[in-house]
Amino acid sequence: MGDEKTQVQAGDKKQDKPPAPTVQPPAPEQHTGPARDHAGDKKSADDKKPTDKSATPAGQAAALQQSVGNQQTNRLLRATRDPAADKHPAGVPVSHPEDAAEKEAEAVAKKVTGDQPAHPHDHAGPAPGDPTKIVGDPSTVHGDPDVVHRTIAAHDQPTKPPAATPHTAAAPNTTTAPHTTNTPNTATAPHTATAPHTAAAPHTTGTAPHTTSAPHPVAPTHPPPAGPAAASILDHPGPGQPIPQPTRGTLEARLKADLSHVVVHHDAQSDTAVRALHARAVTRGDHIFLASDASPYDLALMAHEVTHVLKHQGHTVHRQARAGTAATGKLEPPQSGSTKPTLVIDSIPVPDIKFAWTRAQKPLTTRTGEARSTQQLSAWRGSVKTGAEARVKDTLKPLKALVVDGKEVYYFKLKRAPDLYVFGDERSLTEDAIRPHWSKDGAYAVFQIDHKLEYQLGGDDKTPADNLWLLEAAANGSSGSSIKAAINAAVESVLAIERARGTAVAANVDEARSQYVVKINDVTGGLAISGQPNVSWDVDQVSVKGEQLKALEPMTAEDVTKAGLRGSPAELVIYLSGTGKGIRRVPWGVASGEKTYSTPDPNFFYRTPFLLTRIQWDRAKGGKIFGHGFRNNNFVTSEELDFAITPRIGIEFGGQISEEAVLQGVSKKLKARGFSPLEFDTAEMVDNVGIVARGRLLPTVPLIAKLAIDTVLSGDELRLERTFAPNDLPAPAPFVITGSSLTIFAGTKGLGARGDLRFQLAQLAHGQVTGKVSGEGFALDGKLDFDTSLFDPAALDFHYHKLGADYEWGIGGVLGIGGNKVPGVQRATIQASYQNGRFAAAGDAKLSVPGLESGTLQVSYGDREGISIGGTFGLSPTIPGIAGGSVSATVSKQPPTNKWQLTASGTARPKIPGVDTTLTASYADGVFTIEGQAAYARGMLSGSVLVGATNRPIDPQGRPSGSPRPNAPLRLYGGGTLALRITPWLQGTVGVRLQPDGSVQLMGKVALPDSINLFDAKEVNKQLFSIGLDIPIVGVAVAGQRIGIFATIQGGLEASAGVGPGQLRQLGLEVQYNPEHEDQTSITGGAQLYIPAHAGLRLFVRGALGAGIPVVSAEAGLEVGGQLGIEGAVQASVTVNWTPKRGLVIDAEASLSAEPKFRFDINGYVKVSADLFITTINLYEKHWQLAAVEYGSGLRLGIRAPIHYEQGKPFTFSLSDVQFDLPKVDPKQILTDLVHKIA
């Protein structure tokens, strides 16, 4: 009861829908003809004009191919070819296309591509069968280990789509070709369009034989070796990349092999080597080299090359001949309303069954990565249910039903599968008609609801209209994965084109499809797929025409009894699905209603790992099937499952496991190891497969918790796959995810993860982690590679693991900074960690900076500061003049050289006597400087000095100059000008310089002032005498009385004298001073003693008026003033000799004398007024305007005073010390004479 392939009978009526051509493996030695123009050019080869190309060798070869076929042509040409004429370069030996190794690789490629599994996002049919076997002894099959294996055959595809013409299949007895199209005069002409790598080829229509051979179909009989350039590249390949997804996943599942060690080279050097061998791909050991227009997403090509890798791990190189044209396109800036650039692909191939619908919707925009949101089942039912109901009614109307349990039941069998049955009442038969499980000719077939315009190309349940149909399951799965591979190959080709133009583009296809909007301008037909792509049902066929019902043959009551379809008390009949297939007959007759299996039945559900342990059943209530599911499975945890046996119309003893029962039996009960529950939306039992359920994995791993992963359970295989884009995943701060090929998958090996997440840590580090799944759950393991221009070792372990109940990012390992990496850093050892979402790395560092001690160095990150590398280091106590301090050091790249440098800044405390301050310390570019302006006070010195220490040379002036010598020690420097207070009366300034030991040295002579005050000025005053006179002025009459008015004059003579200030002038002193020995200070030299002095007499006269009566007032003024004085100075040269013990003593006498005259200035007036109460009358008024007069001669005046100054004692000057020389003055005579002169 295996699956039977549908055979479409010749003479079938023309279909209204686009063609669904047959695509099957070619017959052996099948020759092929030239391709037709699929765009609608219906001219035959005979109608086309001949060209002069027929005269060329290529034209002759083409004609020969049309006559005898490709392979025979190749044999003839190889037989006549001169090996010496082959221009392949000499070097590494190259394989021959007829080698057994090449034939085996070709066979494996055919089987792999012809047995592709369904893509996870499409509804999968039966799981693939046994893995592809690779047989033979490598030593004999793959030959000399030094041979470069090259494959001449190529995977070709027609460049134009087929015309939308009806298709007809060959009669069943036609076995010479997989597909024959019957047209006038060509009824028996075989028709194929396959290439050696293509497991199935597209259907084409035409009268002439068809070929799509490679541009270089002919190989030499004895292929020359590869040339020096190619050999060098093959001997010394670069790092390369792993096989990309989904290619790797498909190949690993098909070949049952781990391909993690295989390295793909797809760069300029690889292209050079491959083209030198006139090839499309070459293989050597674990390395696969591709030409620029080949693609690692080409499943057939990669299957061929991987076969060589798995068969031989030596130095054999396999060559895949060049063929085909790579996709073209370009990268455009973001379009309106989008932030992503647009990657434009000019054209991709699609399967012929998809061509018409796909091309009608161009241009196309692909979907990538987002969770699929379609409801195909409900949408399909809504489209066909009403029509199907009517067609069923029409079919049942002439038939006689059987009555089972009081219900009318109709029984049918399939015309071409007589052991398969369809039965039920009108309602249940309508459900079968909505989703038939048979083909148009009545053969068993499994269908899936498919989008004509692929979901990944922008189609959905309702767009475009009538976009859903039922497509044979294997073809549906193959179509989805093949189209995805074609898109990926085209994306990679456009990336290569843009790289050649110098454009910065995504690193790989996965990143490109997440970072760019992928737009496809056009499509061509001819993409080969597996399965039965011509077996399908559309809405019109199911709902309007009811063609599915025409493939059913009614059964009689006798037929039903003979087939035992209704069960009996001795035997339960349990149908595993509604297809009428998968009947389980269970011996019964148990009274308890339950049967237990001592030995669990592992095959009850086909390949689904379900161990049947017991069955419960009651005719009135139905029953259940119990068992353990997925015991010892690598992916799904073992759980006890139960499935309801629901009554089914037409069965008396037994029932059916409905889709609802299957869904309830598995949904939310199965869990993926290390992940989370599996949630299924649909589930059914598929004949010969087992449980087929579609849903999603809802990860509990925090990193991917928000990202549902589409999942398909198919028998014993649970398939899922999702490749995550960089923006799908939260990056652990402070890292940035720069790229992702991380893929979660499940297959025959169980649950797994592959691919990488690539990270960037500012400009400091980059790295990647690779996904894996183990018994401990999901994990990412990898490393961070730090900048090797700074670190050695420069790699840290980087991982994402489950710790307890939580997942955490972690970093482990040690970073080092060795010698010659950073000037000033001798070595550093840094332990890295990542905890609580924070990255940190700290350790010990030993510096080679003189004056800095060892300390700690950290690599840290802050939201504001970003990445920083720094630490704290103490100042060495061995630095001259420095007591201690510390600096904060930073390691960073400095412009303009952009090299790593150590810089530091901090503070220092000096240990110089007399200095109490804080200095600044800095280190940059090898220069260490401690410096500051400091207050200095010690002994006689005070002021401010510059204090510093450096590893730079010190010039003769005591200042740093030039660059430091290697390992130069720090030296103290500094100085300035200080005030030197030698004595209270003597203060100067002196230059000082700091000595290496911290002492202070005076530089040059002491700068002294021009004069020095010994003492301040002193004054004395003395009254010599006083006199008084009455002077009559005038008589007047007031109110009849005579009144006398007179003046009273008083006067006197005063003497005054003063000395000072005393000064030493015109100093010529030498100071001998040492701050460390102040008691030995001495001052020697000469000076001029200068003491100014003065003396004088002052004569004064004051007058007042008097009157006899009170009503009369008199006002008069007489002012006579005179000054008699001398001024001079005592001057003498003195010798100064001072020491701290003796001090300074100066004695001298001040003496002044002179004979001056008095000089008088006289002004006066008299005014008499009477107060009459009513008014005031002026009685008398007189003014004198007198000139100045001199008076006297021989008036000798002088003073004598002693001067004594002793350091440390106050200077005194009193009246008793002064002797005056006074003139003889007769006051009355002076006044009389003066008044006489005045009168």
Residues 383 and 535: beta-carbon distance below 8 Å: no
Predicted local distance difference test score (pLDDT) of residue 531? 85
Residue 780 Cα distances to 161, 801, 987, angstroms: 45, 7, 80
Question: Given a cut of 50, is residue 466 above it in pLDDT?
Answer: yes
pLDDT tens sequence across 518-540: 999 999 998 888 889 999 999 99
Number of other residues whose CB lies within 10 A of the CB of residue 826 = 16
Q: Where are the domains of the chain?
A: 89-158+215-321, 329-532, 564-697, 724-806, 815-1007, 1014-1238
113-127 mean pLDDT: 40
Q: List the one residue out of 21, 125, 31 whose CA is nearest residue 69.
A: 31
Q: Answer whether the bond into residue 363 is a cis peptide, omega within 30°.
A: yes
Tell the residue number behind the tokens 């700091």, with chain if given. Answer: 994
Residue 662 contacts by C-beta under 8 Å, 6 or more apart in sequence?
643, 683, 684, 685, 691, 693
Can you point out the beta strands (E) in 911-940? 919-924, 927-938
Q: What is the per-residue burial (b if ≥16 Cβ within 10 Å, else e) of 251-274?
A: bbbbbebebeebbbbbbebbbbbb
Residues 853 and 841: beta-carbon distance below 8 Å: no
Residues 691 and 662: beta-carbon distance below 8 Å: yes
Find the angle CA(643)-CA(647)-CA(651) to the nearest 5 degrees: 125
Token digits of residue 472: 């044979």
Question: Given a cut of 80, is residue 412 above it in pLDDT?
Answer: yes
pLDDT tens sequence across 968-1024: 888 888 888 888 777 666 677 878 888 877 777 776 666 667 777 766 777 767 665
Give the separation between CA 83 and CA 280, rounded to whole angstroms: 21
Give the separation between CA 751 and CA 722, rounded to whole angstroms: 12
Number of other residues whose CB lies within 10 A of the CB of residue 1135 = 9
User: CA 1151: distance to chain centroid?
Assistant: 98
Q: List the one residue out of 1118, 1147, 1106 whose CA is nearest residue 1130.
A: 1147
Kindly report each contact of residues 665-668 with a partner whose C-beta sits within 8 Å and lies 24 or more positions away, as own/partner. Answer: 665/641, 666/629, 666/641, 666/691, 666/693, 666/713, 667/693, 667/695
Residues 1205 and 1063: beta-carbon distance below 8 Å: no
Residue 958 Cα distances to 274, 290, 911, 1074, angstroms: 71, 70, 19, 19
**Strands across the sheet containing 536-537:** 447-451, 468-472, 536-537
Banded pLDDT at 344 (limits 50, 70, 90): very high
**Looking at per-residue confidence, does 268 or 497 come out higher?**
497
Give the separation between CA 224 and CA 216, rounded to whole angstroms: 16
Q: List the one residue out of 794, 890, 809, 788 whose CA is nearest residue 847.
A: 890
Can you point out the beta strands (E) in 272-314? 279-284, 287-290
Give the separation between CA 981 and CA 1009, rounded to whole angstroms: 12
Predicted local distance difference test score (pLDDT) of residue 779? 87
Banded pLDDT at 1196 (limits 50, 70, 90): low
- Judging by DSSP bridges, how do beta strands 825-835 and 838-847 pair with one another? antiparallel
Residue 378 Cα distances to 295, 372, 375, 387, 667, angstroms: 39, 15, 6, 15, 19
Banded pLDDT at 108 (limits 50, 70, 90): confident
Q: Could you give phi then psi for residue 891, rounded to 5 degrees?
A: -110, 120
User: CA 624: distance to chain centroid?
Assistant: 55
Residue 824 Cα distances to 854, 965, 988, angstroms: 11, 13, 45
Banded pLDDT at 490 (limits 50, 70, 90): very high
Token digits of residue 635: 């992916």
Predicted local distance difference test score (pLDDT) of residue 1134? 62
**Looking at per-residue confidence, does 394 or 174 come out higher?**
394
Question: Given a cut of 60, is residue 1073 above it in pLDDT?
Answer: yes
Helix (H) or strand (E) holding 718: strand 717-723
Amino acid (one-letter) located at 1130: V
Q: Please give the model's pTM, rounded to 2 decimal places.
A: 0.45
Amino acid (one-letter) located at 37: D
Question: Given a cut of 60, is residue 704 above it in pLDDT?
Answer: yes
* Beta-bridge partners for 686: 690
Q: Could you give phi then psi for residue 229, rounded to 5 degrees?
A: -65, -50
Q: List the one residue out of 303, 280, 757 whose CA is nearest residue 485.
A: 303
Give the separation between CA 79 and CA 220, rounded to whole angstroms: 9
Predicted local distance difference test score (pLDDT) of residue 96? 60
Predicted local distance difference test score (pLDDT) of residue 471? 96
Give the separation between CA 750 and CA 1085, rounded to whole angstroms: 108
Residue 50 contacts by C-beta under 8 Å, 6 or more apart in sequence?
none
| HEC readout, 1076-1143 | HHHHHCEEEEEEEEEEEEEEEEEEEEEEEEECCCCCEEEEEEEEEEEEEEEEEEEEEEEEEEEECCCE
pLDDT tens sequence across 654-685: 999 988 999 999 887 888 776 677 888 888 88
Give the separation between CA 597 and CA 378, rounded to whole angstroms: 39
Give the separation between CA 843 and CA 870, rounded to whole angstroms: 10
Give the separation between CA 224 and CA 534, rounded to whole angstroms: 45
User: CA 333: distance to chain centroid?
Assistant: 22
Give the separation between CA 181 and CA 190, rounded to whole angstroms: 8
- Judging by DSSP bridges, how do beta strands 571-575 and 654-656 pair with one another? parallel
Token digits of residue 25: 């493996």
pLDDT tens sequence across 15-53: 333 333 322 333 333 333 333 333 333 333 334 444 443
Q: Is 1224 helix (H, G, I), strand (E, B) or coil?
A: coil
Give the separation between CA 677 and CA 713, rounded to whole angstroms: 13
Predicted local distance difference test score (pLDDT) of residue 539? 94
Predicted local distance difference test score (pLDDT) of residue 1173? 53
Task: For the chain, state the CA radius of gyration.
Answer: 59
**Looking at per-residue confidence, does 8 or 1118 come out higher?**
1118
Residue 711 Cα distances to 89, 119, 218, 666, angstroms: 50, 10, 46, 13
CA atoms within 13 A on the CB side of 1208: 8
239-255 mean pLDDT: 79
